[in-house]
Amino acid sequence: MTRGETETAKKRAVTFVEHVLGDSDRAHEINDLDLDSWAEQRGVSINPAKKGKGIMASSRTLQKLSKEQLIGRVVELQETNTDLQDEVSSLTEKLDSIADIAAAEDEDETELDSDGEDEE
């Protein structure tokens, strides 16, 4: 994961532990960890040059995680999935708008006669 992706994941973990698990003390502990230590505990390697979402972890890494960490990982993946679905939905709406504009322009062109005047 990139450093930015790791920071976002850590913030989500703090929020999850605080609000879903209701463990304020643990949330504060996670929040107080520096990013590198938190990533190491989670089995995440920080690679600033890495491209892509960086959301996959090896099965060996996942086997080393605690139940709480795995739950946090599932929540993180669900949030990433939701974000991606929102992006796809937004892009689909934009493409539909573009298609509507293109179709309207095609209709306008067919209404013009060879002299460029309306045929009404």
End-to-end alpha carbon distance in the chain = 61
pLDDT in tens, the chain (120 residues): 788 888 888 888 888 888 888 888 988 998 998 888 888 888 888 876 544 445 566 777 777 778 888 888 888 888 888 888 888 888 888 888 888 887 777 777 766 655 555 555
Residue 31's contacts (CB-CB under 8 Å, 6 or more residues apart) are 14
Say if CB 1 and CB 47 are below 8 A apart.
yes
Question: What would the two tokens of residue 6 be?
Answer: 């790791």
> Given this model, what pLDDT does residue 37 score?
87
> Given this model, what pLDDT does residue 72 score?
83
Collapsing DSSP to helix, strand or coil, 14 comes out as helix
Collapsing DSSP to helix, strand or coil, 25 comes out as helix
Q: What is the pTM of this model?
A: 0.42
Residue 30's contacts (CB-CB under 8 Å, 6 or more residues apart) are 10, 13, 14, 17, 38
> Given this model, what pLDDT does residue 119 score?
52
Ramachandran class of 54: left when φ > 0, alpha when ψ lies in -120 to 50, beta otherwise: left
